[in-house]
Amino acid sequence: MSERTVLPAAGPLRGRVSVPGDKSIAHRAVMFNAAGQGEALVRGLPSGRDVASTMAAMAGLGAGIERLGLDSVRVRGRDLVFDRSPGRIDCENSGTTMRLLCGLLAGQQGLDATLVGDASLSRRPMRRVAEPLARLGALIETTEGHAPVRIRGGLLTGAEVALAVASAQVKSAVILAGLQGQGTTAVVEPASSRDHTERLLRAMGVDLIVGGADGHGAGGCRVEVSGPAALACVDVLVPGDPSSAAFLLVAAAIVPGSEVTIDGVLLNPTRLGFLHVLRRMGADIQCSVDALVGGEEVGTITARFSRLRAFEVAADEVPATIDELPLLAVAAAFADGMSVVRGAAELRVKESDRIAATAALLGAMGIRVDVFDDGFCVHGGVPRGGASVLTHGDHRIAMSAAVAALACVEGVTVDDAESVAVSFPEFFDVLARLGA
């Protein structure tokens, strides 16, 4: 671990920067093309460890993964026929890698693989993906609901699968399994989660039917696919990660006099829940869509310092804000009033218990936080800082603490600054370029 102290900003944060490629799209671009027919060029990959885990996993399954530079690879697909005895596949800290592989490998007849991860990933729930896949006939064994996860590929049959919690990872796993099964598979969510899987599969020639949970455009989300299907490899330029951009935008919103612009950011509506919350808080934020890249909206976001007010996030908003909720709690610490988040029990089973970690982070800075089983209430004020924060190895907690420090009265020490490398290795360098 590497301890780092972040000091209050000496002046406004100003500048125009970019952020790493979006992890959600990068995972899928590598994995889906590795399963496709032909070959594809994937550019704009983030340098974080999570996507590297997916690339290593697909190479271990026999796909051709050729590095062409710092952020580009050529992927030679396996046409949905992978090596049957890959042994142990190390997903490291990447839940996306592990959960999507469960779906992708479940239909590989004769395959026997075990998915493992680091200590953090091994605490995360995997029964939530194994049980929906079992509806299609998948043979997946968890270890008391967690990793290691053993997959024995076999014949799958289409089925209707209703998810208890909206989850893009679980939805994607079921879709990937359904593409290899016989007949139609429908996955139904109680609310709409991010739709990168659907967009990329369409670009690869897959026919999907997307609508509301009732089949007519209302009540959550329903996705249907028919199998067996084939995927045609397609080139992908990965846009900037809005979840990484969020940290810089909140920093600009809470440091007096700041103005920060981020170029080339993914503006998919299913990923912008945090922007809607920030605008309700009174944040001065402007977005413009400049292009459509691979079926995804891409553009520019500018944020300026603003006087913030309290907000509420209800359960139906959680899927679109889940990754940014600890950061929104930091914004709430500098806002007038009490901000409340409910329906976010999913935060308990991320890389850390993010409800507890966020409350401890802000509590160490002198901000009162009431904790619920499924959320928290932040009493806004003037965070004093002058504290050490335990990140629990969680990159989003580390970056949230650093952002808070910029507007505190005193500096904040982050116990494991290296954890930011999971998603945003350049985070501290970018902050420095903006004047932090």
On whether both 107 and 159 belong to a single domain, the answer is yes
In 173-258, which ranges are E strands? 183-189, 209-211, 221-227, 236-237
pLDDT tens, 48-82?
889 999 999 999 999 999 999 889 999 999 999 99
Where a domain ends, among 237, 261, 290?
237
In the predicted structure, residue 102 carries a pLDDT above the cut 70: yes
- In Å, how far are 270, 280, 310, 346 from 342, measured between CA atoms? 19, 17, 14, 11
Question: CATH code at 402?
Answer: 3.65.10.10
Q: What is the mean pLDDT of residues 332-336?
A: 98
Structure tokens at 127: 């029964």
Would you state the pLDDT for residue 35?
A: 98
Where a domain ends, among 194, 217, 237?
237
On whether both 340 and 357 belong to a single domain, the answer is yes
pLDDT tens, 238-257?
999 999 999 999 999 999 99
Supply the mean pLDDT for the chain.
95
On whether both 350 and 418 belong to a single domain, the answer is yes
> pLDDT-derived band of residue 215, with 50, 70 and 90 as boundaries?
low
Would you state the pLDDT for residue 217?
A: 47
Structure tokens at 293: 């890249």
In the predicted structure, residue 272 carries a pLDDT above the cut 90: yes
Instruction: Evaluate whether 346 touches 339 at the Cβ level (below 8 Å).
Output: no
On whether both 267 and 224 belong to a single domain, the answer is no
In the predicted structure, residue 2 carries a pLDDT above the cut 90: no
Instruction: Evaluate whether 297 touches 345 at the Cβ level (below 8 Å).
Output: no
pLDDT tens, 147-203?
999 999 999 999 999 999 899 999 999 999 999 999 999 999 998 899 999 999 999
Taking the C-alpha atoms of residue 204 and residue 310, their distance in angstroms, rounded to an integer, is: 43
> pLDDT-derived band of residue 13, with 50, 70 and 90 as boundaries?
very high
Instruction: Evaluate whether 300 touches 288 at the Cβ level (below 8 Å).
Output: yes
Give me the active site residues, please.
Answer: 323
Structure tokens at 84: 């049957």
Where a domain ends, among 222, 237, 252?
237
On whether both 188 and 284 belong to a single domain, the answer is no
On whether both 170 and 258 belong to a single domain, the answer is no
On whether both 311 and 222 belong to a single domain, the answer is no
Would you state the pLDDT for residue 213?
A: 66
Number of domains observed in the structure of the chain: 2
Would you state the pLDDT for residue 216?
A: 47
Taking the C-alpha atoms of residue 237 and residue 44, their distance in angstroms, rounded to an integer, is: 6
Residue 48, φ and ψ in degrees, nearest 5: -65, 165
Place of tokens 């729930």: 125
- Preceding omega of 190 cis (within 30 degrees of 0): no
On whether both 199 and 269 belong to a single domain, the answer is no
Would you state the pLDDT for residue 180?
A: 98
Range of the domain at 35: 23-237
